[in-house]
Protein backbone atom coordinates (compact mmCIF):
# COMPACT_ATOMS: atom_id res chain seq x y z
CA UNK A 1 0.00 0.00 0.00
CA UNK A 2 -0.49 2.62 -1.41
CA UNK A 3 -2.35 1.37 -4.45
CA UNK A 4 -1.30 3.31 -7.54
CA UNK A 5 -3.28 3.33 -10.79
CA UNK A 6 -1.79 4.62 -14.02
CA UNK A 7 -3.85 5.69 -17.01
CA UNK A 8 -1.86 6.12 -20.21
CA UNK A 9 -2.30 6.28 -23.94
CA UNK A 10 -1.55 2.85 -25.43
CA UNK A 11 1.63 2.17 -27.33
CA UNK A 12 4.40 1.76 -24.76
CA UNK A 13 6.50 -1.40 -24.86
CA UNK A 14 6.68 -3.85 -21.95
CA UNK A 15 10.17 -2.55 -21.14
CA UNK A 16 8.94 1.07 -21.13
CA UNK A 17 6.05 0.15 -18.82
CA UNK A 18 8.40 -1.68 -16.45
CA UNK A 19 10.72 1.33 -16.33
CA UNK A 20 7.77 3.65 -15.65
CA UNK A 21 6.44 1.45 -12.85
CA UNK A 22 9.87 1.00 -11.29
CA UNK A 23 10.47 4.77 -11.30
CA UNK A 24 7.07 5.42 -9.72
CA UNK A 25 7.75 2.79 -7.07
CA UNK A 26 11.07 4.43 -6.20
CA UNK A 27 9.35 7.80 -5.81
CA UNK A 28 6.66 6.28 -3.58
CA UNK A 29 9.21 4.49 -1.38
CA UNK A 30 11.22 7.65 -0.91
CA UNK A 31 8.30 10.03 -0.32
CA UNK A 32 5.98 7.82 1.74
CA UNK A 33 8.68 5.77 3.50
CA UNK A 34 6.89 2.45 3.14
CA UNK A 35 8.52 -1.01 2.93
CA UNK A 36 9.91 -2.02 -0.47
CA UNK A 37 7.40 -4.90 -0.66
CA UNK A 38 4.46 -2.49 -0.59
CA UNK A 39 3.99 -2.48 -4.35
CA UNK A 40 0.47 -2.33 -5.73
CA UNK A 41 0.36 -0.89 -9.25
CA UNK A 42 -2.28 -1.16 -11.97
CA UNK A 43 -1.87 0.13 -15.53
CA UNK A 44 -4.78 0.87 -17.84
CA UNK A 45 -4.02 1.81 -21.42
CA UNK A 46 -6.41 3.82 -23.56
CA UNK A 47 -6.80 4.78 -27.19
CA UNK A 48 -5.82 8.41 -27.80
CA UNK A 49 -9.48 9.42 -28.18
CA UNK A 50 -10.33 7.91 -24.77
CA UNK A 51 -8.03 10.16 -22.71
CA UNK A 52 -8.61 13.87 -22.53
CA UNK A 53 -6.30 15.55 -20.02
CA UNK A 54 -6.44 19.31 -20.27
CA UNK A 55 -4.49 21.93 -18.36
CA UNK A 56 -7.17 23.51 -16.09
CA UNK A 57 -6.23 26.92 -17.49
CA UNK A 58 -2.64 26.67 -16.24
CA UNK A 59 -1.06 26.61 -19.69
CA UNK A 60 0.37 23.12 -19.18
CA UNK A 61 1.12 21.46 -22.53
CA UNK A 62 0.25 17.76 -22.83
CA UNK A 63 1.57 15.20 -25.28
CA UNK A 64 0.85 11.59 -26.18
CA UNK A 65 3.10 10.63 -23.24
CA UNK A 66 0.63 11.96 -20.65
CA UNK A 67 0.29 9.84 -17.52
CA UNK A 68 -2.57 10.21 -15.02
CA UNK A 69 -1.68 8.75 -11.64
CA UNK A 70 -4.23 7.97 -8.91
CA UNK A 71 -2.83 7.15 -5.50
CA UNK A 72 -5.10 5.44 -2.96
CA UNK A 73 -3.46 5.77 0.43
CA UNK A 74 -3.76 6.08 4.16
CA UNK A 75 -3.33 9.68 5.39
CA UNK A 76 -0.02 11.28 4.40
CA UNK A 77 1.29 14.73 5.30
CA UNK A 78 1.17 17.54 2.76
CA UNK A 79 4.96 17.44 2.70
CA UNK A 80 4.97 13.73 1.82
CA UNK A 81 2.47 14.28 -0.98
CA UNK A 82 4.43 17.22 -2.39
CA UNK A 83 7.64 15.19 -2.20
CA UNK A 84 5.90 12.38 -4.07
CA UNK A 85 4.69 14.72 -6.83
CA UNK A 86 8.20 16.17 -7.25
CA UNK A 87 10.04 12.85 -7.04
CA UNK A 88 7.61 11.15 -9.41
CA UNK A 89 8.08 13.77 -12.12
CA UNK A 90 11.86 13.81 -11.63
CA UNK A 91 12.16 10.03 -11.83
CA UNK A 92 9.76 9.66 -14.78
CA UNK A 93 11.64 12.32 -16.70
CA UNK A 94 15.06 10.80 -15.93
CA UNK A 95 14.09 7.16 -16.54
CA UNK A 96 11.40 7.47 -19.22
CA UNK A 97 11.81 10.89 -20.82
CA UNK A 98 8.29 11.87 -19.71
CA UNK A 99 8.03 15.64 -19.35
CA UNK A 100 6.85 16.86 -15.93
CA UNK A 101 3.98 18.64 -17.72
CA UNK A 102 2.71 15.21 -18.82
CA UNK A 103 2.28 13.88 -15.27
CA UNK A 104 -0.99 14.51 -13.44
CA UNK A 105 -1.46 13.06 -9.93
CA UNK A 106 -4.42 12.77 -7.59
CA UNK A 107 -4.30 11.30 -4.07
CA UNK A 108 -7.38 9.66 -2.57
CA UNK A 109 -7.00 9.29 1.19
CA UNK A 110 -8.86 6.63 3.12
CA UNK A 111 -8.72 4.98 6.53
CA UNK A 112 -7.43 1.70 7.92
CA UNK A 113 -10.92 0.20 7.70
CA UNK A 114 -10.88 0.72 3.92
CA UNK A 115 -8.16 -1.87 3.24
CA UNK A 116 -8.24 -5.64 3.02
CA UNK A 117 -5.16 -7.32 1.55
CA UNK A 118 -6.83 -10.73 1.42
CA UNK A 119 -8.51 -13.43 3.47
CA UNK A 120 -11.52 -11.19 4.11
CA UNK A 121 -9.79 -9.28 6.91
CA UNK A 122 -8.94 -5.61 7.45
CA UNK A 123 -5.30 -6.20 8.37
CA UNK A 124 -4.67 -2.66 9.62
CA UNK A 125 -7.56 -3.10 12.07
CA UNK A 126 -6.71 -6.67 13.13
CA UNK A 127 -3.12 -5.73 13.90
CA UNK A 128 -1.65 -7.97 11.20
CA UNK A 129 -0.13 -4.83 9.69
Q: Cβ(106)–Cβ(71) under 8 Å?
A: yes
Listed residue (103, 84, 99) closest to 25, CA to CA: 84
Spatial contact of 44 and 5, defined as CB atoms under 8 Å apart: yes
The pLDDT > 70 percentage for the chain reads 100
pLDDT at 46 over 90: yes
pLDDT at residue number 33: 96
Euclidean distance between CA atoms 68 and 78, whole angstroms: 20
The yes-or-no verdict on residue 1 having pLDDT over 90 is: no
pLDDT confidence tier of residue 87, bands split at 50, 70 and 90? very high
Nearest to 24 by CA among 75, 73, 94: 94
Say if residues 67 and 32 touch (Cβ distance below 8 Å).
no
In the predicted structure, residue 6 carries a pLDDT above the cut 90: yes
* Residue 2 annotated as catalytic: yes
Positive or negative CA dihedral for 52, 58, 61, 66? negative
Q: Give 55's pLDDT tier (boundaries 50, 70, 90).
A: confident
Residue 63: the pLDDT is 96
From the list 2, 35, 75, 100, the catalytic residue is 2
Amino acid sequence: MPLIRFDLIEGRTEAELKTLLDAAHEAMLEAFRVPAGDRYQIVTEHKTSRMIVEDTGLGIPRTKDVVVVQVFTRPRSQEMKQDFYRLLTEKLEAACGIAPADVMVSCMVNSDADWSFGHGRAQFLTGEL
